[in-house]
Amino acid sequence: MNIAVEHTRAKFWKCALQVNPASYIQYRGKNQDISEDDYNQRLLEVCLEESIKVVGIADHGNVDSVVKIKETFNAQGVIVFPGFEIASSEKIHLVCLYPEDTSLQTLNNYLYEFDIDTSNGTNPSTKSADFILSTVIDKGGFVYAAHCTDDSGVLKQKLNNIWKNPNLHAAQIPTSLEALKEQGDQANHQILLNKNPDYMREKNIAIINAKDIEDPETLRKENATCLVKMTKPCFSSFKLAFSDSESRVRLNSDIKEKYYSRIEAVRFVGGFLDGIHINYSEHLNALIGGRGTGKSTLIESIRYVLNIEPISKETKAQHLKVIKQNLGSGFAELTVKSAVKHGKLYKISRRYGESPIVKDESGSVSTFSPRDLLPDIEIFGQNEIHEIAKESSEQLKVVERFLNTDKIEQESGISTVKESLVTTRNNISDLTSSVSSMESDVEDLKAHEEDENRYKELGIDQQLKLLPIVESERSTFKTVSGKMETLKEALKEFSESIPCADFITEESIKEFPDKTIFENAKLALVELKDNINLSIEKMELDSDSSQQKIELLDKELQESIEKQEDSITKEFKKLAPVEGLTGKQIGEQYRDLIKNIERLKPKRAELVNEQGKLDKEIATRKALLAELSEKKTNRATAFEKGVKRLNRKLKGNIKVNYSAEKNRLGLIKLIVSYRLSDVAEGRLSWMKGVEEFSAPLLAETIKKGQAALLEKDWGMTSTTADRLSKISNKQIMEIEEFKIDDLVSIELNVSSNDEPLYKKLDSLSTGQQCTALLHMLLLDNQDPLLLDQPEDNLDNAFIAERIVTQVRDAKLTRQFIFATHNANIPVFGDAEWIGVLESTNENATLPIQNQGSIDQPNIQNLAAKILEGGEDAFNRRKEKYGF
């Protein structure tokens, strides 16, 4: 990696802070069996193999070896902090380290000042620990308490006054804090956590691992080194790290592999940002710069490459305007590491007006979309958080991200039940219509049969007894023809539904160890299909043959019926006149009546059959509604548990309230869509505040009528009740199965003391609303969060006291990229990468020297000029951060 690029962001560097020279082994009663040069070379080799970048020399009261070690190590890029280990007059051991360019003469002067006999460096100094601490700090050095829990350690000696000295910034322990506790050293464990009142420090001490290195191989042990976060390894950055040790100092055992996505880099070709290339930190990144330098353009360009649209129409229009003006004919390219794709790297590029192009590590175009790689990435431009605060549906989306909504919905099974309910609704509607039609036909049949009795009284049925038989023949044969058509249609559907074996291809099975088995399986499927097709061909031939026979029989029947009808017509003339009607007229009327009776007779049986189907569908629907009710209860319980977990994560800063099926706006809109007279949305607003209410209960009450609706005392008008009581059964079923949305409310703790005071989002100021939502957006997510100037709508006190604290914790497991002009975020948040954008009228620039973290003097100076509050704000931070 290019060294300049490597030093544009802070990262943890492995430091061995208690390295001893070849001669140190004599303190262990042994003789060194290799030369000093060979020992130094072996030390260097192990450092390089173990990625140790910084070593601190800590021989007992002697610095004679420093020069040779520095020469050997510096040639290979390993930084050496010269120093020594001494015992104070209280006989506690302290390791004193100094800047890398400190001369040998200066080091010896320091030893002389501490009254150390360099010929016997283990002898205690006549100077107190307090004197040594203040002197080292005054000279620009750094001190830590060596092996503080062991012999000659400050805690072992129970010297709490020395422990509380503010010039003591770090303490060495032999293992991890957790291991100390497990070993039964509860007392020191509490002291190291700053929980013992007798040892209480104003600021927690930094915990480090370092080990007396008497053999180069000892450097390989986990507790021989610690990790210090710096942009570029150097003594000034090293010291500054201990001003914020919570963020910048770690034991090796503290670092656990975290699997989350990140934007590794972004580069621009053409446009306003032409030539800018950023290698982001995997933690907190802060893009700063004056007005018009391109901060928002850069964030919006990343959004454009990832094809993520802003929330509102207004912000969408502004987003596209920014991209068109600043990206132009150029393009932007992201390098991303995707957690859902097991940490694989991809490049995503996009030109204005074109779709994103995704390439894998080999450079091949991928079928994945940007959203496939970073499904949960969140990007919010200026004021977008405020837009979420104004829109309850967007707030619900924010909350649902933490509740495993997709999993809960899938496991609830509600969607499957709802699909079945829609099916039963349609079936019931169709069957109800069919039954109604058949009932009408049966009523007509009854009327016709009553008319038939009149003819029977006249004896006409006996005179024309052949007539009903002929009509029965005619209607029965129609059924035969209908069955034939049904059989042919069924045969066609069966033929089209036979599966094939084309899915087993040579390409798909070429690497299968059991390839032969699949080849034989394909042959078996093909053979079966061929045999079935042969059978179908025979059935089709048989069907055609039968069809021809039926057609011939139909023709024969029609000829016979015509003869019978001719005979019947002749009989009409023999009928006696009745009430002025001739026998022929009476016969024709009777024939028409019998035709209608024969046509309608099957409807009785069909009605019984259809009514049975309808009853069965109604019973099925009733069971489904009961199942839906149970599943909705289980779903609500799962969400309530998720909200409780979420509230624990929010640590009292925010409280989320969840109410199942309380957002009834969707149900109101459904009823409004029925276009009932005098029933607009306002007439249904009573639904929003009713406690004892559900969609099934409303449907059930509608079925009972207007009086039942008014008895519920829901607050509806009599007109509304009347209109609702007259809606169709299908609409009632739609209401019955309607899934009312859940209602989520967010409350912010605005208390300034330990007693919480929660206020709902809609009663808060704009700044407090945005603060509440930002708290939630910062919670765990494996994909990055990008924010453009979040402080624009935030309360500044909340940024310093709450948001920054949350960012410092969250950045260990999630990447953040903020464009900001507020000093709290990059400084208090300890951004690992700070980029200071500059610009002319034509383009923006971001040179290497404008990138780094706050431990770099150039970044400090640039940031002090640009960030909100300027140099005064930075001076107020000097006491805490040392710059």
Interval 288-327: pLDDT, tens: 988 888 899 999 999 999 999 988 777 888 888 888 888 8
239 shares a domain with 278: no
Average pLDDT (354-379) is 95
Angstrom distance (rounded) from CA 376 to CA 783? 6
- CA 409 to chain CA mean position, Å: 15
- CA 634 to chain CA mean position, Å: 23
Strand partners, 277: 267
Cα end-to-end span (Å), the chain: 29
381 shares a domain with 483: no
Per-residue pLDDT at 425 exceeds 60: yes
pLDDT, position 3: 46
99 shares a domain with 202: yes
User: Which secondary structure element, helix H or strand E, spans residue 284, and what is its range?
Assistant: strand 284-289
pLDDT, position 29: 60
Q: Which amino acid makes up residue 426?
A: N
DSSP assigned state of 118: G
Average pLDDT (33-62) is 94
Whether 323 is covered by a domain: the verdict is yes
39 shares a domain with 169: yes
Interval 694-711: pLDDT, tens: 999 999 999 999 999 999
104 shares a domain with 29: yes
Q: Which of 183-197, 395-409, 558-572, 664-678 has the lowest mean pLDDT?
A: 558-572
164 shares a domain with 111: yes
Task: Round the average pLDDT of the chain to a whole number and report it.
Answer: 89
pLDDT, position 1: 42
85 shares a domain with 231: yes
Whether 639 is covered by a domain: the verdict is yes
Average pLDDT (336-354) is 95
Percent of the chain with pLDDT over 70: 95
- The CATH number given to whatever domain includes residue 148 is 3.20.20.140
pLDDT, position 869: 56
Asked if residues 814 and 260 have their Cβ atoms less than 8 Å apart, the reply is: yes
Q: Which of 423-437, 540-554, 700-714 has the lowest mean pLDDT?
A: 540-554
Asked if residues 811 and 797 have their Cβ atoms less than 8 Å apart, the reply is: no
Last-in-domain residue among 743, 776, 805: 743
Sheet-wide strand order for 79-81:
79-81, 52-57, 11-19, 226-230, 249-251
Whether 12 is covered by a domain: the verdict is yes
Last-in-domain residue among 231, 252, 273: 252
Angstrom distance (rounded) from CA 300 to CA 351? 13
Interval 466-486: pLDDT, tens: 777 887 888 888 888 888 888
Average pLDDT (51-58) is 97
Number of domains in the chain: 4
Strand partners, 868: 822
Going by C-alpha positions, the residue among 279, 256, 257, 275 that lies closest to residue 266 is 279
Find tokens 């390839």 and name the residue: 515
Q: How far is CA 191 from CA 163, 199, 201, 754, in A?
A: 10, 6, 9, 24
Angstrom distance (rounded) from CA 281 to CA 231? 11
pLDDT, position 475: 82
Domain holding 99, by residue range, is 3-252
Angstrom distance (rounded) from CA 54 to CA 227? 10
77 shares a domain with 60: yes
Question: What totals of helices (H) and strands (E) does the chain contain, helices first?
Answer: 33, 25
557 shares a domain with 439: yes
The confidence band for 382, taking pLDDT boundaries of 50, 70 and 90, is confident
Angstrom distance (rounded) from CA 690 to CA 20? 77
Per-residue pLDDT at 576 exceeds 90: no
pLDDT, position 797: 67
- Give the tokens for residue 369: 């979309």
Where do the DSSP E strands lie in 739-832?
A: 741-749, 758-760, 785-788, 816-819
Average pLDDT (583-589) is 76
Per-residue pLDDT at 788 exceeds 60: yes
Average pLDDT (571-587) is 73
Please report how many Cα atoms fall inside a 13 Å half-sphere around the Cα of residue 347, on the Cβ side.
14
Whether 257 is covered by a domain: the verdict is no
Q: Which amino acid makes up residue 636?
A: A
Whether 141 is covered by a domain: the verdict is yes
Average pLDDT (621-629) is 95
551 shares a domain with 512: yes
Asked if residues 569 and 401 have their Cβ atoms less than 8 Å apart, the reply is: no
185 shares a domain with 61: yes
Per-residue pLDDT at 376 exceeds 70: yes
pLDDT, position 188: 95
Asked if residues 744 and 756 have their Cβ atoms less than 8 Å apart, the reply is: no
Whether 681 is covered by a domain: the verdict is yes
Last-in-domain residue among 611, 637, 671: 611
Whether 461 is covered by a domain: the verdict is yes
The confidence band for 49, taking pLDDT boundaries of 50, 70 and 90, is very high
- The bridge status of strand 226-230 relative to strand 11-19 is antiparallel
Residues 6 or more apart from 728 whose CB is under 8 A from it?
none
The confidence band for 875, taking pLDDT boundaries of 50, 70 and 90, is low
pLDDT, position 4: 47
Q: Which of 84-88, 254-258, 393-397 has the lowest mean pLDDT?
A: 393-397
625 shares a domain with 710: yes
- CA 277 to chain CA mean position, Å: 28
Average pLDDT (3-15) is 81
Whether 767 is covered by a domain: the verdict is yes
Q: How far is CA 828 from CA 240, 245, 523, 881, in A?
A: 13, 12, 70, 9
pLDDT, position 28: 62
Asked if residues 643 and 398 have their Cβ atoms less than 8 Å apart, the reply is: no
Residues 6 or more apart from 184 whose CB is under 8 A from it?
none
The confidence band for 149, taking pLDDT boundaries of 50, 70 and 90, is very high
Average pLDDT (751-764) is 86
Per-residue pLDDT at 840 exceeds 90: no
Q: Which of 16-30, 351-365, 369-383, 793-807 has the lowest mean pLDDT?
A: 793-807
Residues 6 or more apart from 414 whose CB is under 8 A from it?
628, 631, 632, 635, 739
pLDDT, position 349: 96
Interval 157-185: pLDDT, tens: 999 999 999 999 999 999 999 999 999 99
Asked if residues 313 and 301 have their Cβ atoms less than 8 Å apart, the reply is: no
Per-residue pLDDT at 823 exceeds 60: yes
- The CATH number given to whatever domain includes residue 316 is 3.40.50.300
